[in-house]
Amino acid sequence: MRIAESAAIVTGGASGLGAATAAKLAELGADVYAVDLPSALDVLTDEQRADHRVTYIAADVTAEDEVQSVVDTSTRARPLRVIVNCAGIAPPAKILSRDGAHDLAQFRRVVSVNLTGTFTVVALGAEAIAQADPDQDGQRGVIINTASIAAFDGQEGQAAYAASKAAVVGMTLPAARDLARYGIRICTIAPGMVETPLLAGVSDAFKAGLTSGVQFPARMGKPSEFAQLAVSIIEHDYLNGETIRMDGGLRMAPR
């Protein structure tokens, strides 16, 4: 599917996977609307602020009215054809620890952001994409969600995160089936250990421990590689309803 001259929404677009994806889509000619929380937009780099190909919008993916406003804004100049959901949180907590049972409010918050927030953007975004004119093959758009390899082999302290990401994986195929009649494809990327700002301050020794199970190449992934994969999915018209691991062959240990 053609990226140029289309509108694209990228959630979690201020940093990490989202920022790399927003920049790549803009480079390829899309009008990009990068969505993130106000606190994330406050710390945008000078380079990001200078890139007028990307419009940054403060919004919470768990707020339906804010998501709808983003969708409405994105369709004013060009048809919305691309959505990449990168917004997510991963606070660690064991189901039972010395402090007691897992905080249930925290569990609900993780599910709200990672699952319900993703679904909200999918549903409201798909409604807008369905209004676009189809191309010669009947395609109107592509949606990409972000899960995690924790959906398959979550570690200790990742029960909430793994459950929310497994649900994103689980909704991929039925979503593809629901949206097929509108010419909308949907896939999910499940990244492994990726070099994001959250890990920028840790030691090389700590990073080595995180990547010890990576088969090849024996390093952390790069946000640019996530963006590259997202673009490949968008441009590959026969990819649909699939979850793709991007992890260098990593299978995570229990801890």
Instruction: Name, in order, each residue with C-beta under 8 angstroms of 224's C-beta and a sequence gap of 6 or more.
Output: 20, 24
d(CA 91, CA 96): 15
Residue pair 55/69 in contact (Cβ under 8 Å)? The answer is no
- Domain borders along the chain are 7-244
Q: Which CATH architecture fits 7-244? A: 3-Layer(aba) Sandwich (3.40)
Residue numbers of the chain with a pLDDT score lower than 70: 198-203, 206
At 189-212, the pLDDT tens digits run 999 999 887 666 556 776 777 788
pLDDT of the residue at 212: 85
For β-strands 96-97 and 100-101, DSSP reports them as antiparallel
pLDDT of the residue at 252: 87
pLDDT of the residue at 166: 98
pLDDT of the residue at 208: 76
pLDDT of the residue at 203: 64
d(CA 93, CA 47): 35
**Which sequence positions are flagged as catalytic?**
161
